[in-house]
Amino acid sequence: MNQAAPTPKDNQGDPVVRIDGRLKVTGQASYPADIATANVAYGVLATSTIARGKVSKLNIEDAKAVTGVLDIVTYGDMDNIGKPKFGNTSASSIAPLHDRTIFHDGQIVALVVAETFEAAEEAAMLIHADYEDEQPSAGFESKGTKTEAAAGKNPMLKEDPKAGDFDAAWANAAVKIDEKYSTPTQHHNPIELFSTTAIWQGDQLTIHEPSQNVTGWKVELARQLKLDPANVRIISPYIGGAFGSKGPMTARTAIVAVAARRIGRPVRCVVSRMQAFGTQTYRAETRHRIRMGAGKDGRITAFGHEGWEVTSRPDPYVVGGTSATARMYDYGSVLTHVSIVHADRNTPGYMRSPPETPYVYALENAMDEMAAALGMDPVEFRRINEPAKEVIGGKPFSSRSLIKCYDEAADAFGWSKRDAKVGSMREGDWLIGMGCATAIYPTAVAPCAARVRLTSDGDVRVQCGSHEIGTGVRTIAGQMAAELLGIAMEKVSVEMGDSALPPAPVSGGSISTASVCSAVMQACETVRQKLFAGAVGKDGPLSGSGNAKLDMADGKVGAETGKSAKLADVFKAMQVGAIEEYAEFAPKGSSPEALKKLYAGQPEFHGGEGDEDSVKYAFGAEFVEVRINSYTREVRVPRIVGAFAAGRIMNTRTARSQLMGGMIWGIGQALHEATEIDQRHARYVNRDLQDYIVPVNADIKQVDVILVPEVDREVNPAGVKGLGELGNVGTAAAVASAVYHATGKRIRDLPIRIENLL
């Protein structure tokens, strides 16, 4: 595999090495559960063994008797605490210790606190509940589920997109595809386990917990605990795998805080991997029906996409990926509908590209099927259906480089060497298949604040309450400041992951680079203007260059005349030692309340399909080669090539890393990953990394990322499209397409396993 970061092309930034990379790989980066905490007690959760019913009695006497047990928080102990509310900040309205109703298997029934982790764990295992249990519904297959229309239930799917007369177009289509697809339940398994450490100092509460949303959590936790948000601080400087799992706050955080207050000591609770399956969010299984009609010329005339998703009993969580699939190609007509199925399950939540991963999987499979039905090359089929405008609202795309992505990726992959005939390519015992699919992700941006300080020594400090979830945003924010202030990267420090810093939006929806960089730009611009005024002022070292265009580079303020002044001299003339600016960035189209909502932890998102002027998406094209053993039918992916266009690329190293990681996850989605559910008990079965299969190094061979240059001035001041969630969209469909090409077997249900190919 080529390990070098791509050489920057037009509108692409240097592959600066992560400023925290060394700390991370040498173990010096402290993750929230690593923070040394004096006098800490250990919390372990006890969870339900049924999925539906009521706890009639909780037996805690044996647990209490374990040496070292300090407290057990359970029913009754949360009565004065506000219940979590389902929404952007809280994962679920299920409020485990507030009432005795059990909504799902693995629901928290108690938190044991002890002097040691071992004592707490022993005691937690001795807790047992008496239940009035009822037969649960596990999901699509079960009796007793409730199905409702999803549109409008959740901001992620405001309405079912429609265009033209689908029924007529479908009836008249010369070539038709009418197929069903499905994606499995998937659970978050970040390397860093979920944890909460709560520390009280008087009425001030500090929470160390991996979080993608420190400001949102601060406000929501304060509401639950009835505190002033100013007295709550969430600290999360490093996060070992987020991908949406650490976006919404779960019920545990308040429970641990209550425990710490009761015993008057800090409490740390690290959730076991098994318990995380029931107490955290996950990607629920989806089903799809796609109807696609086309003319013999290959033009799509009708696109129908129905989706079904599973959620918990009380919450309307839905991802609703038809927003993107309905705008993907130049369909003559569109009809979509998404339904939610309520079952006795914990509430699902965000997982990397929540709507697009399952919905685009279904669409891109159907595209491959239609291309085959038309006898057309799948790349050519997409080229023919490339839209000038999106068909739902008739708006232009702010930029759309999909075909360029196809051209570059096809070229690098060697698509022209593919023999289109199914099952025709072979090497020894291995059947070879080649396939492709489109990646798409909406480009959004949110209000964000940042503080930038420049000293006379040329030291820069950037502060922003965003989160380094592994994307490289800390480095990128520093790069933006270094560039605008003309300072070497070594002189830049960046602080993130603390609700005491200027507020940033949730690090989700691939908005962070755009939002943070736009705020940092705004702060740097003010610093520059102040310095420029000082430089050209009466006593300034560039006095008299008042009308000259000024810039900052190499630690100097320079005029276009060629004259320049050292920063130290400008500061001296200004008689200050540092300039510090606090910027509040609000994107175009923001409401008058936008900044207030940012501070309240409920930032507005702008962009995607929601803007008036244009729809905003990043695109990519992915090509996969599979090799399938003709005897054992094992599937290998020796190579994958993805070309992506995402506006300005801030750093080709971190961008490549995001996209590569996404494609690797996509291979896992295609071939490995699935949570198995015991239908009788609505229980997750494979709750560990032995049985929950993810790709390891031996599964991944060559992964090539091509960054296609693109300029988009509409998306946000930084010109950046998010790409953290782009890479894994489409990958699974590309694998399925390649599997079909190798074997002639069309696998529509993920994951694709040996048993499907026999």
**Binding status of residue 243 toward ligand MOS by CB under 6 A:** yes
Question: Does residue 338 sit in helix, strand or coil?
Answer: strand
**Binding status of residue 166 toward ligand MOS by CB under 6 A:** no
CB atoms near residue 407 (< 10 Å): 17
- Of the pair 244, 668, the CB lying nearest ligand MOS is at 244
- Minimum CB–partner distance for residue 355 and ligand MOS (Å): 10
Helix locations, 54-106, DSSP H: 61-64
- Of the pair 304, 587, the CB lying nearest ligand MOS is at 587
- Of the pair 51, 351, the CB lying nearest ligand MOS is at 351
Mark the segment that binds ligand MOS (CB under 6 A) among 131-139, 185-193, 239-247, 583-591: 239-247
In contact, 235 and 496? CB cutoff 8 Å: no
- Minimum CB–partner distance for residue 508 and ligand MOS (Å): 3
Mark the segment that binds ligand MOS (CB under 6 A) among 122-130, 242-250, 568-576, 675-683: 242-250
How far are the Cα atoms of 58, 298, 536, 735, 749 from residue 670, in angstroms, in the given order?
A: 42, 27, 61, 6, 9
Mark the segment that binds ligand MOS (CB under 6 A) among 115-123, 238-246, 300-308, 709-717: 238-246
Question: Distance (Å, rounded) from C-alpha 687 to C-alpha 281?
Answer: 14
Q: Which of residues 558-597 bind ligand MOS (CB under 6 A)?
A: none
Q: By CB neighbour count within 10 A (0-12 exposed, 13-18 middle, 19+ buried), where does 592 fall?
A: exposed
- Minimum CB–partner distance for residue 245 and ligand MOS (Å): 8
- Minimum CB–partner distance for residue 472 and ligand MOS (Å): 15
What is the token pair recorded at 510?
Answer: 């691939």
CB atoms near residue 53 (< 10 Å): 19
Q: Nearest Cα to 618, choosing from 717, 514, 691?
A: 514
Mark the segment that binds ligand MOS (CB under 6 A) among 167-175, 241-249, 422-430, 672-680: 241-249
How many residues of this chain interact with ligand MOS, rule: CB under 6 A?
A: 12
Q: Which of residues 31-70 bind ligand MOS (CB under 6 A)?
A: none
- Of the pair 508, 719, the CB lying nearest ligand MOS is at 508
Q: By CB neighbour count within 10 A (0-12 exposed, 13-18 middle, 19+ buried), where does 202 fall?
A: exposed
- Minimum CB–partner distance for residue 678 and ligand MOS (Å): 27
In contact, 669 and 732? CB cutoff 8 Å: yes
- Of the pair 108, 242, the CB lying nearest ligand MOS is at 242
Site string for ligand MOS, 505-544 (x = CB under 6 A): ---xx-----------------------------------
Residue-wise DSSP of 212-279: S-HHHHHHHHHHHHT--GGGEEEE-S--S--TTTTSSBPTHHHHHHHHHHHHTS-EEEE--HHHHHHH
Q: Which of residues 337-376 bind ligand MOS (CB under 6 A)?
A: 350-352, 354
- Minimum CB–partner distance for residue 269 and ligand MOS (Å): 22
Question: Distance (Å, rounded) from C-alpha 385 to C-alpha 299?
Answer: 6
- Minimum CB–partner distance for residue 351 and ligand MOS (Å): 5
Q: How far is CA 498 from the centre of its chain?
A: 19
**Binding status of residue 244 toward ligand MOS by CB under 6 A:** yes
**Binding status of residue 217 toward ligand MOS by CB under 6 A:** no
- Residue 165 backbone phi and psi in degrees, to 5: -105, 90
Site string for ligand MOS, 184-213 (x = CB under 6 A): ----------------------------x-
In contact, 406 and 437? CB cutoff 8 Å: no
Residue-wise DSSP of 626-665: EEEETTT--EEEEEEEEEEE-BSBS-HHHHHHHHHHHHHH
Residue-wise DSSP of 173-209: -SEEEEEEEEE--EE---SSPPEEEEEEETTEEEEE-
- Minimum CB–partner distance for residue 62 and ligand MOS (Å): 40
What is the token pair recorded at 103?
Answer: 């909504």
Active site residues: 725
In contact, 131 and 53? CB cutoff 8 Å: yes
- Of the pair 423, 610, the CB lying nearest ligand MOS is at 610
- Of the pair 276, 747, the CB lying nearest ligand MOS is at 276
- Of the pair 469, 594, the CB lying nearest ligand MOS is at 469
- Residue 596 backbone phi and psi in degrees, to 5: -60, -40
Q: Which of residues 276-305 bind ligand MOS (CB under 6 A)?
A: none
How far are the Cα atoms of 327, 381, 421, 733 from residue 366, in angstroms, in the given order?
A: 15, 12, 18, 9
- Of the pair 474, 748, the CB lying nearest ligand MOS is at 474
Q: Which of 53, 136, 247, 607 binds ligand MOS (CB under 6 A)?
A: 247
- Minimum CB–partner distance for residue 605 and ligand MOS (Å): 11
Q: By CB neighbour count within 10 A (0-12 exposed, 13-18 middle, 19+ buried), where does 1 fall?
A: exposed
For tokens 């509430």, the residue is: 347
Site string for ligand MOS, 710-729 (x = CB under 6 A): ---------------x----
What is the token pair recorded at 247?
Answer: 């976006």
- Of the pair 335, 439, the CB lying nearest ligand MOS is at 439
- Minimum CB–partner distance for residue 116 and ligand MOS (Å): 34
- Which residues are 706's β-sheet partners? 643
Site string for ligand MOS, 304-343 (x = CB under 6 A): ----------------------------------------
Q: Which of residues 470-509 bind ligand MOS (CB under 6 A)?
A: 508-509
Q: How far is CA 177 from the centre of its chain?
A: 32
Question: Distance (Å, rounded) from C-alpha 673 to C-alpha 679?
Answer: 18
In contact, 5 and 13? CB cutoff 8 Å: no
Cis omega (within 30 of 0) for bond into 751? yes
Enumerate residues 6+ apart whose C-beta is below 8 A from 3: none
In contact, 507 and 469? CB cutoff 8 Å: yes
- Of the pair 86, 243, the CB lying nearest ligand MOS is at 243
Enumerate residues 6+ apart whose C-beta is below 8 A from 557: 531, 532, 535, 542, 550, 551, 564, 565, 567, 570
Mark the segment that binds ligand MOS (CB under 6 A) among 236-244, 413-421, 617-625, 673-681: 236-244
- Of the pair 284, 294, the CB lying nearest ligand MOS is at 284
- Minimum CB–partner distance for residue 511 and ligand MOS (Å): 8
Q: Nearest Cα to 110, choosing from 92, 102, 266?
A: 102
What is the token pair recorded at 736?
Answer: 């399925």
- Minimum CB–partner distance for residue 613 and ligand MOS (Å): 24
Instruction: Tell me which residue has its CB nearest to ligand MOS.
Output: 244
Mark the segment that binds ligand MOS (CB under 6 A) among 76-84, 243-251, 542-550, 576-584: 243-251
- Of the pair 197, 507, the CB lying nearest ligand MOS is at 507
- Minimum CB–partner distance for residue 77 and ligand MOS (Å): 32
Q: Which residues bind ligand MOS (CB under 6 A)?
A: 212, 242-244, 247, 350-352, 354, 508-509, 725
